[in-house]
Structure 1
Amino acid sequence: MKKTILVLIIAVVALLTAVGAGVGYFVYDFTHTRPSEVAQDVVYEVEPGKAFNTIAKDLENKGLVRNATLFSLWARFKGERSKVKVGEYLLRTNMLPEDILQTLMSGKSIARSFTVSEGLSIYEIADLYEKEKFGTAADFLALVRDPKLIQSLLGEPEESLEGYLFPETYMLTKYTDTKTLITNMVKRFLYVYNEIIPQSEIKGMSRREIVTLASIIEKETGAPEERPLISSIFHNRLNKKMKLQTDPTIIYGKAEKLGKIVINITRADLLTPTRYNTYVIDGLPPTPIANPGREALLAAIKPASTNYLFFVSKNDGTHIFSEDYKAHQKAVQSFQLNAKAREGHSWKELKKKETQPVAPKK
């Protein structure tokens, strides 16, 4: 009897050992075999609340794992089912199960670029944000006008964050919210502003005034090398108590009423009083009219030393600068009232340089 029991025990142990070896080999084969030798990209999103078994089945259906049940059991054995994070991930069909699982646990979602060019206003950035499907323009505009957010980011009250959204390329994921983007843009502005402000050659201007002037310089500049010259004109006019008479401020005044930027300017617009119309008001407008880049900010605090008071477009993105009205009128006659000088010309001809159209100065 004892001999029979001993034989049965040995048989059971042998069977379990064989089964264990088989299971071990099966698991090893699953975890060390790629679903495909072809590296095909697959974008997969782990949405909030999605169960791991559902994720595993999705991965099997997309050819990313060979067996959903085994993948789920294997992840349970490793204690990593609960570590998968919400996100949008780039996976490949030739990834091993371990690579798939590690990617889903990383939380590193696919990032897409969002490029904000120098001189765009909050209206234009909001439209671009919605066009590229990162969020809605309405939400963007609401947040850049949120008094609490403005105070928390700038440390002082402002009407909006116009002027403080630094133009740059930002990397956003599907789960980057609007507030996070705006916060990062303002932080980038503050970093650049604090970096260059020690170079200032002007006195008596507040941060808001510097940014406002920089925003006008940005909008009036087609050729980057002209920024210090254009800055000198506005500084000279401010010092002489002359009106700035800059067309982009008129456009912004219209935008405040319309809720969008409309480029065309009529004679009636020049005469219509708004708090931004620098043909009517004295000094700088109350807020920035766009979001300037580093070079425009630098130009605002380091203007060229000139006696210029006027400038007029040469229809190619550059300008003629004048010290007196007589010389300015001559330049207007030559480049703006002369049909031949305007024919076939466009500020867009200024290749590889910033492209903001410049209206003639009056």
Structure 2
Amino acid sequence: MMWRHIASNAVTMLIVLLFLMGGLILWGKGQYDGSGPLEQAICLQVPSGTNMRRVSAELENQGAVTSPVIFRMGADYADKTSQLKAGSYLVDPGASMAEIVDVVTRGGASTCGTEVVYRIGVNRLGVQVRELDPQTNRFEERASFTPAEEATPDIYVQKKAQGDTRFRVALAEGVTSWQVVESLKGMDVLEGTVAELPPEGSLAPDSYEVRPGDDRAEIIARMQSAQELRVAEAWQNRDEDLPVQTPEELLILASIIEKETGVAEERGQVASVFVNRLNRGMRLQTDPTVIYGVTKGQGVLGRGLRRSELRAATPWNTYVIEGLPPTPIANPGTQSLEAAARPLETDYVFFVADGTGGHAFAKTLDEHNRNVAKWRRIEAERASGN
């Protein structure tokens, strides 16, 4: 009887222990999966060579987890401890331990911290060093400079050497292929050479993530692949009655639209002018094509066109030649490609600057001459300082 009583008590204790363990596991899982205590977003730095113990301690210090032990146990149970990735990661308010583990083990680019942006613009290459403010989720500029004209700031040198700094190449709409290649040469985080100049118009304006040591030719290839897809899509969705016969001609037209206006809302109108002119057998008579004939895309003209240049017979002078020039004159963006493929339906055949950054459009020469006279008055007033 005594042994039976002892055995019965032992079974009871085992049941109680199992029940308590089950409850403890459920509680721990609730802690791991439930909302965390973080009230404001933080940028978590995960240095190269660190481990989950140090990461969990840092998270506890910043008030992001209630228990570093549960954090590590959960990561172990999910078999993610060995997948820890170095970088800088944005941890949102209320993020659960499970969500944080996923963020620091998923891989890929950092989601906060320092970013160096190389901006390839029409006039120059600019470099910006900026950091993400986790509270506002907006980047704050720390430094900016033009490599060809200014000394390199110390913060750029410091941040470039950090392993969690991200690098990005931002290619503006309307730059030429020569400008892109020359700008890539000026980026000291890249390596390799570009054997030959990419065809004009073949590079997609966009923002490209790069890493120190990336090959310049491979970045060019990425830009070309992206542009091929964009041109193919625009061509596929084009209006059936366009006066262009090939995707290359569509690209040429888009590049002219790109250089004629920086106002997104009027690209369709500008496109309609050129389409109407082509349909009527009128010369395009657009200054950007003449400028390209002078510079061949190698830099900015930096002055007004001379009368002799407007009369000069170059393959790109649309005051002289009929139809489209033989090549694009810049690398157009998606909006200009779409405008070329599906222009607005208008009767406009003229346009001139209106003094606001946009253009005044006209259906007749008389109306256009009045718009030109108004623009000349604005130019004169600006020149006199009034």
Normalising by structure 1, we get a TM-score of 0.57
SS of 1:100's equivalent in the other structure is helix
Deviation, 1:187, is: 6.0
String of CA shifts for 1:98-157, please: whole Å, max 9, x gaps.
333244445586779xxxxxxxx964499578677742569x9349999xxxxxxxxxx9
Is the aligned partner of 1:250 residue 2:248? no
| 1:99 corresponding residue in structure 2 | 99
| 2:144 corresponding residue in structure 1 | none
| 2:147 corresponding residue in structure 1 | none
Q: Percent identity?
A: 15
Deviation, 1:58, is: 2.9
Q: Is the 8 A contact 2:51 2:84 kept in 1?
A: no
Higher helix proportion (structure 1 or 2): 1
SS of 1:43's equivalent in the other structure is strand
| 1:318 corresponding residue in structure 2 | 359
Is the aligned partner of 1:64 residue 2:105? no
Q: Is the 8 A contact 2:36 2:94 kept in 1?
A: yes
Q: Is the 8 A contact 1:232 1:306 kept in 2?
A: no
Partner of residue 195 from structure 1, selected from 211, 236, 252: 236
Q: Is the 8 A contact 2:36 2:66 kept in 1?
A: no
Question: What is the letter of the counterpart of residue 288 of structure 2?
Answer: D
SS of 2:274's equivalent in the other structure is helix
| 1:162 corresponding residue in structure 2 | 201
SS of 1:202's equivalent in the other structure is coil
Q: Is the 8 A contact 1:215 1:289 kept in 2?
A: yes
Is the aligned partner of 1:135 residue 2:168? yes
Question: What is the letter of the counterpart of residue 197 of structure 1?
Answer: R
Q: Against the structure 1 CA distance between its residues 101 and 209, is the aligned structure 2 distance closer, same or farther, given a 3 Å change threshold?
A: same
Q: Is the 8 A contact 1:85 1:106 kept in 2?
A: yes
| 1:210 corresponding residue in structure 2 | 250
Question: What is the letter of the counterpart of residue 251 of structure 2?
Answer: V
Question: What is the letter of the counterpart of residue 246 of structure 1?
Answer: D
Q: Is the 8 A contact 1:145 1:161 kept in 2?
A: no
| 1:288 corresponding residue in structure 2 | 329
Deviation, 1:219, is: 2.7
Question: What is the letter of the counterpart of residue 231 of structure 1?
Answer: F
Q: Is the 8 A contact 1:311 1:321 kept in 2?
A: yes
Structure 2 unaligned segments of length 5 or more: list them: 113-118, 131-165, 172-178, 186-195
Deviation, 1:246, is: 1.6
SS of 1:44's equivalent in the other structure is strand
SS of 2:376's equivalent in the other structure is coil
SS of 1:211's equivalent in the other structure is helix
String of CA shifts for 1:16-45, please: whole Å, max 9, x gaps.
998887777666555434796453212335
- Give the distance between the partners of 2:24 and 2:308, measured in 1 at CA: 78
Deviation, 1:165, is: 1.8
Is the aligned partner of 1:338 residue 2:371? no
SS of 2:237's equivalent in the other structure is helix
Deviation, 1:83, is: 4.3
Deviation, 1:257, is: 2.9
| 1:232 corresponding residue in structure 2 | 275
Deviation, 1:86, is: 6.1
Q: Against the structure 1 CA distance between its residues 334 and 301, is the aligned structure 2 distance closer, same or farther, given a 3 Å change threshold?
A: same
SS of 2:90's equivalent in the other structure is strand
Question: What is the letter of the counterpart of residue 210 of structure 1?
Answer: L
Q: Against the structure 1 CA distance between its residues 276 and 195, is the aligned structure 2 distance closer, same or farther, given a 3 Å change threshold?
A: same
Aligned length: 309
Q: Is the 8 A contact 1:48 1:86 kept in 2?
A: yes
Question: What is the letter of the counterpart of residue 298 of structure 2?
Answer: K
| 1:350 corresponding residue in structure 2 | none
Q: Is the 8 A contact 1:218 1:227 kept in 2?
A: no
- Give the distance between the partners of 1:145 and 1:134, measured in 2 at CA: 13
Deviation, 1:275, is: 7.0
Question: What is the letter of the counterpart of residue 199 of structure 1?
Answer: E
Normalising by structure 2, we get a TM-score of 0.55
Deviation, 1:231, is: 0.9
Q: Is the 8 A contact 1:122 1:162 kept in 2?
A: no
Deviation, 1:280, is: 8.3
- Give the distance between the partners of 1:264 and 1:85, measured in 2 at CA: 52
Q: Is the 8 A contact 2:202 2:224 kept in 1?
A: no
- Give the distance between the partners of 1:39 and 1:269, measured in 2 at CA: 67
Q: Is the 8 A contact 1:234 1:244 kept in 2?
A: no
Higher RCO (C-alpha 8 Å, min separation 6):
1
Deviation, 1:334, is: 2.0
Structure 1 unaligned segments of length 5 or more: list them: 113-120, 147-156, 345-362
Deviation, 1:291, is: 1.1
Higher strand proportion (structure 1 or 2): 2
Is the aligned partner of 1:44 residue 2:44? yes
SS of 2:298's equivalent in the other structure is helix
String of CA shifts for 1:164-185, please: whole Å, max 9, x gaps.
5267xx7x8898x994974784
Q: Is the 8 A contact 1:46 1:86 kept in 2?
A: yes
